Amino acid sequence: MSSEAVRSAGQSPQASQDWAGFARSLVGAAALLGLSIIVFVALLDPYGLRAAPGRPPGPIMDANQRLSYPQITRGGAFDAAVFGTSTARLLDPAALDAAFGVRFANLAMNAATPDEQIRLAALFLAHRSIRAILFGLDDTWCAADPPARTANAFPDWLYAEGVPWGGLRQMNLRSVTVAAQVGLAQLGLARPRIRQDGYAVFTPPEDRYDLARAQAHIRANAADRTTTADPEDAPMPALVRLDQLLGTIPAGTLTLLVFTPIHVAAQGAAGTAAGGREATCKRRVAGIGAAHGATVVDFRIASPLTSRDANYWDALHYRLPVAAQIVADLKAAVVTGVDDPAGMYRVLAHP
């Protein structure tokens, strides 16, 4: 634009130059700020992109397990892991370590689908030699059409080998916030959200337990689960994938397939379609376990444990003392290979 045109537009050449300089400065400052944020997040590494067996991740500050657990699968001195849903989350790795003489991480995720569990397990197996693996099984493994994902976004890029472009993929407000929290934790100014072995108590404090409220939740949850069951002979594709995964585990690995204990009110009753489907599923899992030298333990039965309301917060989630008892029972099942004399569990397969 000519000087005359600028003047005719009511703007001097100097003002035009000032605006151009301001625009360049603004763009430069924005680029510098963006680069600084990328470097800040990369240095704090909130999702453990640099984690490796010899280089464990830093403090775990994001409570979203789907984002936090890949760093545990890549880092830390673990040779064993728990996979499952929230019905296996309370199994304390420290107690499992003491029971079986290995180093467990608990990687069970709230509402995890079989596909999500298998993806996480495959990532864990790819990064270390293992000595034990435990799958906590629920009825999603028995479904004819199990969901691939839950409502929670699943970060596929975090589960890819090498985490391609991970440094840029993680750039968002959440990662910046979590990186800042990691920095505070490293300075001792904040507490990690999840222990570095994946363990976290997600249930309310035990001193807040209210039996009447728990009973109301148990009945409501059980009513919500009374849906039409798949036919007994319908396919169970998730179990096919479980069979394939177990085929990749080295011989001699302690393998535990565990039907976790939900309240008897939420179980499929004998003589019903749901009960028949559960029984068929258990037979198939027993066969898969036997083929791979696994111990298959069934807590999903009517028992003193599952019939006592005071053991549960709701129909699916047992209390902390129950979790400790499950670990002790699992050790007994592995050692003896027989059903519990008190009726707490059945052993469906044993090497």
Domain residue ranges of the chain, discontinuous segments joined by +: 3-43, 53-161+195-349
What residue type is assigned to position 137 of the chain? L
| Cα 72 from Cα 85, distance rounded (Å) | 17
Tell me: pLDDT of 293 over 90.
Answer: yes
Residue 325: predicted pLDDT? 97
Structural contact between residues 81 and 134, judged by C-beta atoms closer than 8 angstroms: yes
Identify the weakest region by mean pLDDT among 32-36, 77-81, 266-270, 345-349: 32-36
- Three-state secondary-structure class, residue 153: coil
Between residues 158 and 36, the one the model is more confident about: 158
Identify the weakest region by mean pLDDT among 75-79, 103-107, 150-154, 316-320: 150-154
| Cα 109 from Cα 120, distance rounded (Å) | 10
Between residues 71 and 228, the one the model is more confident about: 71
Between residues 28 and 144, the one the model is more confident about: 144
Between residues 165 and 339, the one the model is more confident about: 339
Tell me: pLDDT of 21 over 90.
Answer: no
Question: Which long-range contacts link 164-167 to residues 24+ away (Cβ below 8 Å)?
Answer: 166/47, 166/49, 167/38, 167/41, 167/42, 167/49
Strands 295-298, 346-349: pairing is: antiparallel
Does the domain at 53-161+195-349 match CATH 3.40.50.1110? Answer given as yes
Between residues 166 and 61, the one the model is more confident about: 61
| Cα 67 from Cα 47, distance rounded (Å) | 7
Residue 14: predicted pLDDT? 66
- Three-state secondary-structure class, residue 60: strand
Average of pLDDT values for 135-142?
A: 95
